Chain A
Amino acid sequence: MTDATDHSLPPIPEGFRVLYSNFMTHIGPVWYRADADGCSLIVDMKPHHLNGGGTVHGGMLMSLADTLLGRTISAVLGDGKAATVSLNCDFLSAAKVGERLTGRGRITRQTRSVVFLAGELAVGERLVLATTGIWKVLGEREAS
Chain B
Amino acid sequence: MTQARGQQTVTYAAAAVVPPPPGYRAMPLGDPFEAHVGPLFEKTDADGALWYAFVLDERHANLRGVAHGGMLMTFADAVLGSAAWTATARQPCVTLSQESNFLRAVRVGDVVECAPRLVHKGSAIVCVEATLLVRGEAVMTARSLWKILGAP
Q: Choose from A22, A91, A144 the contact partner of B95 (Cβ within 8 Å).
A: A91
Interface centre among A27, A59, A64 (most CB of B within 10 A): A59
Are B61 and A27 within 8 A (Cβ)? no
Which secondary structure characterizes the binding site on chain B? mixed
Are A47 and B69 within 8 A (Cβ)? no
The smallest beta-carbon distance between B54 and chain A, in angstroms, is 12
The smallest beta-carbon distance between B92 and chain A, in angstroms, is 7
Which residue of the partner chain B has the closest CB to A52?
B30
A22 partner residues in chain B, CB cutoff 8 A? 58-62, 68
Q: Choose from A14, A21, A48, A50 the contact partner of B62 (Cβ within 8 Å).
A: A21
Rounded to whole angstroms, the CA-CA distance of A12 and B13 in the bound complex is 24
Q: Choose from B8, B70, B97 the contact partner of A59 (Cβ within 8 Å).
A: B70
Are B13 and A26 within 8 A (Cβ)? yes
Which secondary structure characterizes the binding site on chain A? mixed
Q: How many residues of B contact A (CB 8 A)?
A: 47
Are A59 and B102 within 8 A (Cβ)? no
Chain A interface size, as a band, is 35 or more
Rounded to whole angstroms, the CA-CA distance of A111 and B74 in the bound complex is 29
Are A49 and B32 within 8 A (Cβ)? yes
Are A58 and B105 within 8 A (Cβ)? no
- A100 at the A/B interface (Cβ < 8 Å)? no
Q: Choose from A18, A87, A94 the contact partner of B69 (Cβ within 8 Å).
A: A87
Which residue of the partner chain A has the closest CB to B6?
A5
A-side residues, CB < 8 A to B, are 1-5, 11-14, 18, 21-29, 46-53, 56-60, 62-64, 66-67, 70, 79-80, 83-91, 94, 144
Can you list 27 A-B pairs with a CB-CB distance of less than 8 A? A1-B11, A2-B10, A11-B1, A11-B2, A22-B60, A22-B61, A26-B13, A26-B36, A26-B60, A29-B10, A47-B32, A48-B33, A51-B32, A51-B33, A56-B33, A57-B77, A58-B98, A59-B73, A59-B75, A62-B98, A66-B70, A67-B68, A79-B63, A85-B102, A88-B97, A88-B100, A91-B94
